[in-house]
Amino acid sequence: MRHRLPTAAAALAAVLMITGCTTNNTVDTTKTTAIQPTAKDVSASDLAEGKAQFREANYGLAEKHFRKAVELKADNAEAWMGLAASYDELGRFDFADRAYDQLLKVAGRKPQIVNNMGYSQLLRGNKKKARVLLLEAKAHMADQTVVDANLALLNKS
């Protein structure tokens, strides 16, 4: 009985060694190249959500999504514009000014941006500065409807 255990263990070891040494000829050895990742704007979903929240007048949530969009893609002018407008609506003009500064660096001094900066000044009660900015925007905008509406608000106040 004592000889059976070592013999059984030796037989088991031999079987394991033999099965471990067999080769599997069904393995695909074709060399492949890595698939390049597709270029995807990771900030796009936050930009879309920021716009949706802004339209619903949820300016705090809009700010959150626009901020994340610019953190993910710092050259996204549309996200900077939304972020600045959200800060304006929240009354955080110090942050709005920073966002407008970044926006000007990214996109340049475009009439739509200048119009929004003028509206920001209107919200603050800076009528003189608002008028200067809105008139600058009006002089360079093809469709002056929005600027005219902002100027009308300025004249009412």
- pLDDT tens digits, one per residue of 16-32: 666 665 555 666 666 65
Residues 113 and 101 in one domain: no
**What pTM does this model have?**
0.72
In the predicted model, what is the mean pLDDT of residues 3-23? 64
pLDDT tier at 43 (50, 70, 90 boundaries)? Answer: confident
> Do residues 88 and 123 touch, judged by C-beta distance below 8 A?
yes
Q: For 53-98, what is each residue's pLDDT tens digit?
A: 999 999 999 999 999 999 999 999 999 999 999 999 999 999 999 9
Least confident of 3-7, 69-73, 144-148: 3-7
Domain that holds residue 58: 42-108
DSSP H stretches of helix in the chain: 4-21, 44-55, 59-72, 77-90, 93-107, 111-124, 127-140, 145-156
Give the number of other Cβ atoms within 10 Å of residue 65's Cβ. Answer: 24
Question: Is residue 143 in some structural domain?
Answer: yes
pLDDT tier at 157 (50, 70, 90 boundaries)? Answer: confident
Q: How many distinct structural domains can be found in the chain?
A: 2
Residues 46 and 93 in one domain: yes
Question: Is residue 120 in some structural domain?
Answer: yes
Residues 52 and 94 in one domain: yes
Domain ends where: 72, 87, 108? Answer: 108
Residues 54 and 92 in one domain: yes
In the predicted model, what is the mean pLDDT of residues 101-120? 96
Residues 141 and 97 in one domain: no
Residues 124 and 156 in one domain: yes
